[in-house]
Amino acid sequence: MPADQAEPPGDAALWGCGDRAAFGDLFERHVQAVWNHAYRLTGSWAVAEDVTSATFLTAWRKRSDVALVRESALPWLYTVAGNLARTERRSSGRRSRLANRLAEPAEVFDHADSVVDRLDNEVRLRKVIAAVRKLPKAQRQAVELCLLGDLPIADAAAHLGIAEVSVRSHISRARTHLRAMIEEAE
């Protein structure tokens, strides 16, 4: 790197600044990863956008109270996004049950190929997410952070407070369980 170009500040430096510009840089650095994680957890583009927005709003509000793991904001952001996605899933289930009791919803069909492809992908993703939800807690957390969230195993281990080998073991067992559940469903 040329001497006249300084290395960009790390997450901890941006997190600790407390100003909007620094937080904006942190947002730009991680928004796509958080949105991808939220989409993998929810299977819905719109819900993933809402979860991502709420995650960064929570981060802004709690930035002075949170210590980052390994100087990275991603583990904490992924955890917040996961919690918000679970809350949204419970809320949408309640809304759905209420709507079913009130009246049968009208079905709307859109025959555009791109919409059909997107829905097919979302259905497949929801099946995988449903299978992930059935995993034991330790395996589910490892899968959500490492496989769905693309977090390095070392960071996930630090965030979960367990050894890296334990995270690898949880992921291996989870893959075996997931294969069996998906084969059984098909």
Mean pLDDT to the nearest integer, 48-58: 93
Q: Which three-class secondary structure state does DSSP give residue 72? A: strand
Phi, psi angle pair for 63, to nearest 5°: -60, -30
List the CATH number of the domain containing 146.
Answer: 1.10.10.10
Same domain, 101 and 119: no
Domain endpoint, select from 78, 106, 134: 106
What's the burial of 127, exposed, middle or buried (CB within 10 Å: 0-12/13-18/19+)? middle
Structural domain includes residue 2: no
Same domain, 133 and 79: no
List the CATH number of the domain containing 29.
Answer: 1.10.1740.10
Domain endpoint, select from 58, 77, 106: 106
Residues 74-130 have pLDDT tens digits of 889 999 999 999 988 888 777 777 777 766 555 554 555 666 667 667 777 777 788
Which residues are bridge partners to 69 per DSSP? 72
Map tokens 């960071």 to a residue.
Answer: 155
Contacts of 13-19 spanning 24+ positions with Cβ under 8 A: 14/73, 15/63, 15/66, 15/68, 15/73, 18/63, 18/64
Q: Which three-class secondary structure state does DSSP give residue 99? A: helix
Residues 4-28 have pLDDT tens digits of 567 788 888 888 777 889 889 999 9
The neighbour count for residue 91, using CB atoms within 10 Å, is: 10
**65: its two tokens:** 């109270």
Same domain, 55 and 87: yes
| Boundaries of domain holding 142 | 109-186
| Structural domain total, the chain | 2
Same domain, 167 and 147: yes
* pLDDT score recorded for residue 131: 83
Same domain, 43 and 122: no
Structural domain includes residue 1: no
Same domain, 29 and 96: yes
Structural domain includes residue 54: yes
CB 16 within 8 A of CB 65: no
Q: Which three-class secondary structure state does DSSP give residue 106? A: coil
Same domain, 13 and 86: yes
What's the burial of 102, exposed, middle or buried (CB within 10 Å: 0-12/13-18/19+)? exposed
Least confident of 62-71, 134-143, 148-157: 62-71
Q: Which three-class secondary structure state does DSSP give residue 69? A: strand
**CA-closest candidate to residue 172, choices 151, 148, 147, 149:** 147
Domain endpoint, select from 55, 72, 106: 106
Structural domain includes residue 3: no
Same domain, 17 and 87: yes
Same domain, 32 and 99: yes
Same domain, 96 and 145: no
pTM summary value:
0.54
Same domain, 114 and 181: yes
